[in-house]
Amino acid sequence: MLKSVRVLAATLACLVTPIVATAQDVNLLSRDGSISISGNFLSFDGEFYRVETDLGVLTVDSSGVLCEGPGCPDLDGYYAQIRMSGDTKGTRVLLPALITAFALRNGYTVATSPLSETQRSMILTDAENDLTVGEFLLSDTSNAEGFADLVSENTDMVLTLRKVAPMEMALAFEAGVGDLSDPLRARVVALDGLVPVVSRSNIVHGLSLSDLSAIYRGQMTNWQEIGGAEAPIVAHLMRDDLQDGSEFRRMILGHGVQIAEGTVTLHDRYDSLVAAIEQDPYALGLGRMSEGGTVKPVGLSGACGFEARAAASDIKSEDYPLTRPVFLYTPARRLPTLAREFLSFVVSPAAQIVVARTDFVDQGVDELSFRDQGRRFANAISHAGEEITLEDLQSVTGTLQGAKRLTLGFRFEGGSTTLDAQSRSNVHLLAELLEAGVYDGQALTFAGFSDGQGRASINAALSKRRAEAVLKAVRQALGDAFEADRVTLRATGFGEAMPLACDDVEWGRSLNRRVEVWVKSQS
């Protein structure tokens, strides 16, 4: 009997999670009576039971067993219950918009009701058959609390504006949630940007990432040091931005660096941070493009004269250094059918139309004309030197003139040839557009660029290899069924000929190492 149970456990799909009851005893008996599994009932998703047993957590197909005991769910009255937790703005604005659109797309009506100040319920109903098909339970928490909920199995999905931190990843793996570093566990559903903000009365209009690092490390304390008034800098920060997976840690403060006690005011709510900056002409904070507020955004600058400002097109293409993908993390267990259908919807082009109507940045693909790139060409000309010649610039111009740049940027994880999370999402998005025939009869050029470190000839070869790697990833996403003659796909490399930012800082070099996609009619 024990051997039979182990065989069954080994063949079961990896789990489930909707309606979660207080742990109660159940006995799952195979219909021929040969196998019996006893334990504490955890959840039921309409198809599979999830039970905690002496052998661990097992997931059992309900069609093959009978359920006995006080913990057994009412199969006749079942509907999927999907719990979602995470970033407050995302759970209050983005998720409700996506859930509503998903419901309407499937012919369901939606009834939203508050459960508490931080929780709400969205019930989806098939009005034609007067049948409740599912309920989404949304909890306004934070990025950190969302991951904690996932580890403790108090949620089924986490909406977060940062990657999972190493400690959270370890706890999740230990708890049986799965490897959250696996790309299958995280979907990019929207984009946002981290933006330095000051009072509207502050005369400072630009800061470098180096300036921000010095301020938050307590090494720069007076506005006069960066062209402002003779006054102390009062720094503010969202507490969650101190987590290791945040863009603030990666791009500004550094991993493992501690903020000196008393030098920065930490906030748990974004409206608290904005209010503090509004009321203090000498305050500085890190805001979000999605949140806004009556504060002044500050551009990012480099020593060589480049400047970057948060704009939707630059967020989409990752030309803005503090771009923040909005992730939807899920556990490595089986979710209800309704949840799986919702997850497929949120990464579709139709969902991005919905995202565009919110305060977040969508991943919909825009086309930027060659003429829109004037500033970039001016920068290229002004920074040309011995290794970047007029002939090199003419090569770029000759190849790209008459084409339009897509707002699909491709960049790689630091020190590797692995595409970052936003770029992996862009690969599938571009593949979907190609399969849909959006670019039939046109030529797509994957143009690789590099930073200016090292010899120009080596950089040119390296940039072409990166372009070829992205092209290969897109072709793999298309599959063998795609008719190759519908569109021309080619890769080329221009090396360091078109810098986006200064090479004197790491964030500038990371921006310059990129692959762009340009589209041009073949007629």
Q: What average pLDDT score do residues 370-390 get? A: 67
> Is a pLDDT exceeding 60 seen at residue 14?
no
Same domain, 342 and 297: no
Tell me the HSE value of 12 on the side-chain side, using a 13 A CA sphere: 27
> Is a pLDDT exceeding 80 seen at residue 36?
yes
- 174 by Cβ neighbours in 10 Å (0-12 / 13-18 / 19+) ranks as exposed
Q: What percent of the chain has pLDDT over 90?
A: 48
- In this predicted structure, what is the pLDDT of residue 313? 87
Question: What is the rounded CA–CA span in Å between residue 43 and residue 18?
Answer: 6
CA distances from 266 to 142, 207, 211, 250 (A): 14, 21, 19, 18
The pLDDT-based confidence of 246 (bands split at 50, 70, 90) is confident
Same domain, 19 and 110: no
For 297, phi then psi, to 5°, come to -75, 145
pTM for the structure as a whole: 0.81
Same domain, 90 and 200: no
Same domain, 239 and 299: yes
Q: What percent of the chain has pLDDT over 70?
A: 90
For 262, phi then psi, to 5°, come to 90, -5
The span from the first CA to the last CA of the chain, in angstroms, equals 70
Q: What average pLDDT score do residues 18-41 get? A: 76
Residue 74 included in any domain: no
The domain that holds 504 is classified in CATH as: 3.30.1330.60
The domain that holds 292 is classified in CATH as: 3.40.190.10
Residue 418 included in any domain: yes
* Token output for 52: 């905690």
- In this predicted structure, what is the pLDDT of residue 89? 93
Same domain, 116 and 128: yes
Collapsed DSSP state (helix, strand, coil) of residue 424:
helix
Domain extent for 138: 80-191+326-349
* Token output for 27: 């006995």
Question: What is the rounded CA–CA span in Å between residue 358 and residue 353?
Answer: 9
Residue 355 included in any domain: no
Same domain, 404 and 375: yes
The answer to whether 503 and 396 are in contact (CB under 8 A) is no
Question: What is the rounded CA–CA span in Å between residue 523 and residue 514?
Answer: 28
- In this predicted structure, what is the pLDDT of residue 415? 58
Give the chain's mean pLDDT: 86
Same domain, 207 and 143: no
The pLDDT-based confidence of 353 (bands split at 50, 70, 90) is very high
Same domain, 250 and 302: yes
Residue 358 included in any domain: no
Residue 354 included in any domain: no
CA dihedral 472, 473, 476, 482 (to 10 degrees): -80
Same domain, 134 and 184: yes
Closest Cα partner for 335 from 5, 511, 21, 81?
Answer: 81
State which of 23-32, 112-121, 445-454, 476-485 shows the largest mean pLDDT.
112-121
Residue 39 included in any domain: yes
- In this predicted structure, what is the pLDDT of residue 414? 62
Residue 379 included in any domain: yes
- In this predicted structure, what is the pLDDT of residue 393? 77
The domain that holds 38 is classified in CATH as: 2.30.30.100
CA distances from 113 to 87, 149, 344 (A): 19, 22, 25
Same domain, 96 and 57: no
**What is the sign, positive or negative, of the torsion defined by CA atoms of 422, 288, 357, 331?**
positive
The answer to whether 437 and 516 are in contact (CB under 8 A) is no
Q: What average pLDDT score do residues 251-260 get? A: 85
Same domain, 87 and 180: yes
Same domain, 186 and 201: no
Question: What is the rounded CA–CA span in Å between residue 338 and residue 95?
Answer: 15
For 321, phi then psi, to 5°, come to -65, -30
Number of domains in the chain: 4
The answer to whether 409 and 325 are in contact (CB under 8 A) is no
Residue 356 included in any domain: no
